[in-house]
């Protein structure tokens, strides 16, 4: 990180003035609430950070200290943390990047701040390691929750500023960091109640993972900005008059949905931007004491639904039963003027601060409630419990389970005594049993749901009253893993099943290390991951167990070693060419001539397979992924699996591009929908076979109440040819939508 720049005295003076200005701006909103001791602590941390980073520059050429100041500003203003966290944010990189040590920090600032800095340093070091499964890093990252939740909050702030300044990074780094952000940091921000930060992280990630889609939606939002602002103002004026007449104190804020949420709607519903109907969100923030908060919220709800017709399917009451993040709000979607749906969020000033600042504001408003009694603390306790389970060693499975618990919607069920329990949507009776106690889960026979007997696999609904039936003779079974969705239940079932297996696996690990050493293969995490894929096993423990039991013998390991040499060579061959600072490739204007793939900056021709999950065709933006046993698989950059591959296996991604070579045909699946009429099939086949001379492999049309759905598989030479035939199909009378799909 040493600077290659030549800095003049004049430039240095200008930068020092700018550093001081940014420092003052960072404290601008919190200065009046800080004590004199707080201000001294922050100033001391700032001086140390300035000294430590004085010779360092960012990729942009700016002084490195700009970054920790920006992170501290996010921590102070957007997350709402106090002096300890602001000081830690200012120094979050000093141990990793300067001569200062954790011991130095502890001597100068005490154990609390030193512990936070140590946690942040460990995360940064992990993120720079080139591990085969990136999510293993995040398991270790999340373990810091057991020490101090502020480590995670500061790390989220650090990632947010990195995403805001990602333009200075080279393209492959942008894609990796953006994918990583979508994969873990946005879900973490969501679970910490930082909804604004979560939305911004998702939008910024989309900007780099799907740049064309991002720019398209951004442009359309800009083009329609004045119309949307007028509509929101007119809508708010109607509510304003109604609430003022009741003597309420309130503020109304209007906004558009985030770019990422609009993009997800267009993809999930298969509709264009123009057909996304709920682009608007209004927030009514009212003033009230704690005693009357709920009463005022429902009064405002009543007044708004007197003005506009509500959509009963879009009603969300998080005031009567707050989310486990502490989020409280009343959401209602109403039919506004011009028959447009508008979401209205009703919340008090206190609720709004909790919604904006998440976990930090939640602690601020806890008053006399002990930490262990709050919902957020309950969730953190569950996270710690899940992380500390020994059988969560399979990092990818762990992250899948953890993301489910981060993002899943909640249901609320009652015990026979009327106690309320929160579970993720899709949870079974067995999940509920384990949520009560591990022993209840281990001995669960079945459940009475609303007085009726159901099996363990029964999925619960909000409002169910559940009584668990147990037996001392019952023990966890392998099929239970098919019934449970919560991490706690899954880990407890696995722990019971694996207790004996684990002992054997420990011996197997030593045997494997000895055998690999004999074969001159290094024993490390990369090799273990490759062994998992080669032998098609789900965890490292399975490998050790199979080695101990002789299921994997010397011949099997010898074959793996021979194959592994070639695989490692292939990766090493491309890492420099793929991840060098080469300029971005320009795709020729004439897409019809793109019909052959080349790889790396040297544009080498290699054997490859087209991934079946996204079926790329000539002209699509693609990348190569080096598999263990099947060579290079080519995926579209917007493949459903792209983010996961970029986040977890970045070192196995290689650059790929289409060039003009010999002709080759690709299968593409087209999905149609429209109004059925006589002669429709004939007109469709005419467009494909006669007008475009394409080979049609299959056609499947079904009709219901005058509406038809159809899927057609055709062979095309490239993307331009496919787009041409799709445009002609859309012009056929009665056809409402035509899109390319990847699922039969």
Per DSSP, which regions of 532-621 are E strands?
Answer: 596-599, 608-610
Distance CA 248, CA 590 (A): 62
Residues in a beta bridge with 333 = 343
What ranges in 365-460 are assigned the alpha helix state H? 375-387, 395-407, 429-436, 438-442
| Choice among 77, 97, 585, 665 that is catalytic | 97
Q: Are 560 and 516 in contact (CB under 8 A)?
A: no
Distance CA 559, CA 557 (A): 5
Q: Are 426 and 485 in contact (CB under 8 A)?
A: yes
Q: Are 714 and 670 in contact (CB under 8 A)?
A: yes
Q: Are 238 and 307 in contact (CB under 8 A)?
A: yes
Residues belonging to the chain: 744
Q: Computed from CA positions of residues 81, 83, 84, 85, in that sequence, does the dihedral angle turn out positive or negative?
A: positive
What ranges in 246-277 are assigned the alpha helix state H? 259-269
Distance CA 668, CA 715 (A): 6
Q: Are 489 and 434 in contact (CB under 8 A)?
A: yes
Residues in a beta bridge with 336 = 340
Q: Are 633 and 625 in contact (CB under 8 A)?
A: yes
Q: Which residues contact 636 (CB under 8 A, 6 or more apart)?
A: 611, 614, 616, 620, 621, 622, 642
Q: Are 708 and 673 in contact (CB under 8 A)?
A: yes
Q: Is 665 a catalytic residue?
A: no
| Choice among 62, 96, 385, 723 that is catalytic | 96
Tell me the two tokens of residue 352: 């709004």
What ranges in 53-194 are assigned the alpha helix state H? 66-73, 83-90, 94-97, 102-109, 111-128, 135-143, 149-164, 171-180, 186-191
Residue 617 has phi, psi (to 5 degrees) of -130, 165
Alpha carbon separation from 308 to 301, 311, 315, 342 (Å, rounded): 10, 10, 14, 10
Q: Is 400 a catalytic residue?
A: no
Q: Are 689 and 647 in contact (CB under 8 A)?
A: no
Q: Taking Cα atoms as reference points, which of 68, 95, 81, 101 lies closest to residue 29? A: 81
Which residues are catalytic, by number?
96-97
């Amino acid at each position: 990180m040493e600077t290659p720049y030549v800095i003049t005295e004049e430039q240095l003076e200008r930068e020092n003035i700018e550093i001081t200005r940014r420092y003052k701006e960072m404290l601008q909103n919190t200065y009046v609430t800080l004590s004199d001791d707080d201000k001294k602590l922050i100033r001391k941390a700032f001086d140390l950070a300035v000294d430590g980073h004085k010779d360092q520059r960012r990729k942009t050429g700016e002084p490195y200290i700009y970054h920790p100041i920006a992170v501290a500003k996010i921590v102070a203003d957007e997350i709402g943390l106090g002096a300890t966290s602001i000081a830690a944010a200012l120094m979050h990189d000093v141990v990793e990047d300067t001569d200062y040590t954790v011991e130095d920090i502890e001597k100068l600032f005490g154990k609390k701040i030193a512990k936070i800095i140590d946690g942040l340093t460990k995360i940064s070091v992990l993120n720079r390691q080139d591990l085969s499964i990136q999510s293993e890093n995040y398991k270790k990252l999340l373990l810091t929750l057991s020490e101090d939740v502020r480590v995670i909050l500061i790390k989220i702030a650090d990632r947010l500023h990195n995403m805001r300044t990602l333009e200075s990074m080279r393209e492959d780094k942008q894609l990796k960091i953006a994918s990583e952000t979508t994969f873990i940091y946005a879900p973490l921000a969501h679970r910490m109640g930082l909804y604004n930060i979560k939305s911004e992280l998702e939008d910024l990630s989309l900007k780099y993972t799907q740049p064309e889609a991002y720019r398209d939606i951004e442009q359309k939002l800009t083009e329609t900005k004045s119309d949307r602002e007028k509509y929101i103002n007119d809508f708010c004026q109607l509510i304003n008059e109604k609430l003022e007449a009741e003597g309420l104190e309130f503020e109304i804020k209007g906004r558009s949905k985030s770019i990422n949420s609009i993009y997800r709607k267009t993809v999930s519903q298969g509709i264009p931007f123009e057909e996304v109907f709920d682009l608007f969100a209004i927030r009514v923030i009212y003033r009230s004491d704690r005693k009357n908060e709920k009463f005022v919220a429902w009064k405002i709800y009543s007044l708004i639904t007197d003005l506009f017709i509500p959509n009963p399917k879009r009603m969300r009451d998080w005031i009567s039963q707050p989310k486990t993040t502490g989020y409280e709000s009343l959401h209602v979607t109403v039919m506004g003027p011009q028959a447009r749906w508008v979401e209205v969020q009703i919340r008090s000033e206190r609720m709004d601060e909790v919604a904006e600042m998440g976990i930090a504001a939640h602690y601020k408003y806890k008053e006399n409630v002990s930490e262990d009694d709050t919902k957020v603390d309950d969730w953190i306790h569950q996270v710690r419990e899940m992380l500390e389970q020994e059988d969560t060693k399979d990092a990818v499975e762990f992250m899948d389970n953890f993301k489910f618990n981060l993002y899943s919607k909640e249901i609320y069920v009652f015990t026979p005594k009327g106690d309320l329990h929160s579970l993720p949507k899709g949870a079974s009776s067995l999940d509920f049993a384990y949520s009560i106690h591990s022993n209840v889960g281990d001995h669960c026979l079945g459940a009475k749901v609303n007085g009726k007997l159901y099996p363990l696999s029964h999925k619960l609904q909000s409002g169910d009253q559940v009584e668990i039936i147990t037996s001392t003779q019952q023990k966890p079974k392998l099929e239970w893993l098919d019934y449970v969705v919560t991490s706690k239940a899954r880990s407890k079932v696995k722990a019971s099943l694996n207790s004996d297996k684990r002992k054997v696996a420990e011996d197997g690990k030593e045997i494997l290390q000895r055998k690999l050493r004999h074969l001159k293969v290094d024993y490390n995490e990369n090799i273990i991951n490759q062994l998992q894929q080669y032998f098609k096993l789900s965890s490292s423990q399975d490998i050790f167990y199979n080695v101990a039991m002789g299921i994997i013998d010397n011949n099997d390991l010898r074959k793996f070693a021979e194959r592994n040499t070639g695989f490692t060579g292939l990766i090493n061959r491309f890492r420099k060419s793929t991840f060098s600072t080469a300029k971005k490739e320009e795709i020729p204007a004439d897409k019809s001539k793109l019909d052959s793939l080349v790889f790396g900056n040297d544009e080498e021709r290699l054997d490859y397979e087209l991934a079946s999950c996204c079926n790329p065709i000539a002209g699509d933006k693609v990348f190569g992924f080096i598999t263990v046993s099947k060579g290079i698989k080519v995926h579209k950059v917007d493949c459903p699996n792209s983010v996961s591959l970029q986040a977890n296996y970045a070192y196995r991604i290689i650059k790929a591009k289409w060039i003009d070579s010999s002709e080759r045909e690709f299968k593409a699946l087209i999905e149609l929908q429209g109004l059925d009429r006589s002669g429709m099939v004939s007109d469709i086949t005419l467009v494909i076979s006669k007008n475009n001379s394409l080979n049609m492999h299959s056609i499947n049309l079904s009709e219901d109440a005058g509406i038809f759905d159809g899927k057609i598989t055709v062979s095309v030479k490239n993307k331009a040819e496919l787009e041409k035939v799709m445009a002609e199909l859309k012009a056929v009378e009665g056809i409402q939508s035509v899109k390319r799909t990847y699922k039969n």
